[in-house]
A = this chain, B = another copy of it.
Amino acid sequence: MSSSILVVGSVAFDTVETPFGRAEKVLGGSASFFAVAASFFVPVSLVGIVGRDFGEKELAAFRNRPIDLDGLERSDGETFHWQGKYSYDLNARETVCTDLNVFESFKPRIPEKYRRSSHVFLGNIDPVLQRDVLDQVHAPEIVACDTMNFWITGKLDELRKTLARVQVLLINDAEARQLSGEWNLVKAARAIRAMGPKVLVVKKGEHGVVMFTGDSFAAPAYPLEEVFDPTGAGDTFAGGFLGYLAAARGLDETVLRRAVIMGSTLASFCVEAFSLDRILRLTRTEIDARYRLFKSLTDFEAL
């Protein structure tokens, strides 16, 4: 059977203010960024929920790509809306408002045709719902997962039950520290890997990524001259990472490391524009060229 990814998560409108401009109610949500990034590598099936205000214009972003939207539920009400404002240096962001709207009552229903997906990405939703998704699918090869401080604080027991069923966890450094109760990332990684995920990918934004698999792998972020809007970079990383893994169909160290660089490559494009604007007009040639730039950015010779 050929590879495909089932992604479950948020599809949203983002209103974003950066030092360089403002974007009003543009397409966002973790599943949106993830799906577009992953679709460069394998077919993606998206399960999420939107409101009546989510129209043809937004859906157009996913068309002409191997993204199946039959699992995108349309509900009465408004689409999840997140509004944020970045500091002058893009290093801090303030959430102005989070209107969950239809997302508040999201109960993922996995269409029958998605249930044999080879790979599953559980976006950042209630860990109970994440397990509901796992109960609906048939023996995926790899389950990857995201989470956030809200669930670590509020539903740690449920989250641990989910993590026990996950092979790959992708979180940021603050979340890794909070989840493990360890400041030191090496100790944090050991504690988290003991909870279930054998692969822990720690995203550090402009400082790159560290992956713990027993072995350790560190990759920088690409030093861009123009970072326009960091929104969605982490989800885009996850999409590039799992997309590459699914296409390569393996979980050995060589493939995992290439997947980290592929995730970093996709994320480096994401931040060049608002919303999904840059990754929607990205070509595979551009992706491969920047992957090679990562090689030249990090390469050094033995003594």
Task: Give Cα A215–Cα B234 distance, bound, in whole angstroms.
Answer: 26
Task: Give Cα A204–Cα B261 distance, bound, in whole angstroms.
Answer: 21
Instruction: Spot the interface stretch: A25-33, A43-51, A181-189.
Output: A181-189
Whole-angstrom distance between the Cβ of A142 and the nearest chain B Cβ: 19
Task: Give Cα A194–Cα B47 distance, bound, in whole angstroms.
Answer: 51
Name the B residues within 8 Å of A291 (CB-CB): 302-303
Interface string of A248-260 (1 = CB under 8 A from B): 0000001001101
- B216, B225, B303: which contacts A297 (Cβ < 8 A)? B216
Name the B residues within 8 Å of A299 (CB-CB): 257
- Asked if A300 and B185 make an inter-chain contact with CB atoms under 8 angstroms apart, the answer reads no
Place the interface of chain A in its size category.
35 or more
A292 within 8 A of B: yes
A223 within 8 A of B: yes
- Asked if A223 and B218 make an inter-chain contact with CB atoms under 8 angstroms apart, the answer reads yes
- Asked if B210 and A301 make an inter-chain contact with CB atoms under 8 angstroms apart, the answer reads no
Copies of this chain, count: 2
- B187, B218, B227, B297: which contacts A184 (Cβ < 8 A)? B227
- Asked if A217 and B300 make an inter-chain contact with CB atoms under 8 angstroms apart, the answer reads yes
A113 within 8 A of B: no
Task: Give Cα A220–Cα B187 distance, bound, in whole angstroms.
Answer: 18
Whole-angstrom distance between the Cβ of A56 and the nearest chain B Cβ: 36
Q: Which one of A215, A217, A254, A303 has the highest number of Cβ atoms from chain B below 10 Å of its Cβ? A: A303
Name the B residues within 8 Å of A260 (CB-CB): 300
- Asked if B298 and A223 make an inter-chain contact with CB atoms under 8 angstroms apart, the answer reads no
Smallest Cβ-Cβ distance to A254: which chain B residue: B301
Task: Scan residues 206-261 of chain A and give those whose CB is less than 8 A from a CB of chain B.
Answer: 207-208, 210, 215-220, 223-227, 254, 257-258, 260-261
A288 within 8 A of B: yes
The answer to whether residues A186 and B224 also contact, given A298-B298, A299-B257 and a CB cut-off of 8 A, is yes
The answer to whether residues A187 and B225 also contact, given A210-B220, A300-B219 and a CB cut-off of 8 A, is yes
Name the B residues within 8 Å of A223 (CB-CB): 185-186, 210, 216, 218
A296 within 8 A of B: yes
25 contacts between A and B (CB under 8 A): A88-B183, A184-B226, A186-B223, A186-B225, A204-B207, A207-B207, A207-B208, A210-B220, A210-B223, A215-B296, A216-B223, A217-B297, A217-B298, A218-B223, A218-B298, A219-B300, A257-B299, A258-B300, A258-B301, A258-B303, A291-B302, A291-B303, A292-B302, A295-B300, A295-B302
Residues of A within 8 A of B (CB): 88-90, 183-187, 204, 207-208, 210, 215-220, 223-227, 254, 257-258, 260-261, 288, 291-292, 295-303
**Top 10 nearest A-B pairs by Cβ distance?**
A218-B220, A257-B300, A207-B207, A186-B225, A89-B183, A186-B223, A216-B223, A218-B297, A298-B298, A261-B300
